[in-house]
Amino acid sequence: MRLVAALIALAIAGSTSAANPHATRIRVDKSDRKMLVYSNDRLVATYPVALGRSPLGHKAQEGDKKTPEGNYVLDYKNPNSAYFLSIHVSYPNSADKQRARKRGVSPGGDIMIHGEPGDLKFRKYIQTYPGLNWTDGCIALSDANMKALWDMVRVPVPIEITP
């Protein structure tokens, strides 16, 4: 009887994890303005994204309004963000810091994946113009998509951001 109960519990746990997959890697395609979320090798979600206001090219320095390109890690979650939730991207990495140091500039930082802004006027503006790149270099999702991503991510998770 215990064996049967244990098997039933395992079956329920297995179906729960299949219904609620955990992200094992994320890829952001800047040219397509899409985020692809994978659980192992299976694509489990695709979300449209907004990027930095100057989306072409790799982030080179603080204030350039560019979204970084390369391999990073989602390393912590912030439930008290000025935007609807946020997950930190580990930019700048050592190569980013070295490039900025050679140029005598700050690489910047505080790059996040986040939802919509808390400011209601700004929120209405970006909702009026879908497809607008409006961040200072972050990756933005709708609030509903941010909540879904938040529930799938257990940090750390690798993220690849491609041109």
Give residue-wise pLDDT tens across range 106-133: 999 999 999 999 899 999 999 898 889 9
Measure the CA–CA gap between 120 and 83, rounded to whole angstroms.
11
Question: Hey, what CATH topology would domain 21-162 get?
Answer: L,D-transpeptidase catalytic domain-like (2.40.440)
Kindly report the pTM of this predicted structure: 0.86
Q: Is 48 exposed, middle or buried (0-12, 13-18, 19+ CB in 10 A)?
A: middle
Q: What is the mean pLDDT of residues 142-155?
A: 97
Q: Is 128 exposed, middle or buried (0-12, 13-18, 19+ CB in 10 A)?
A: exposed
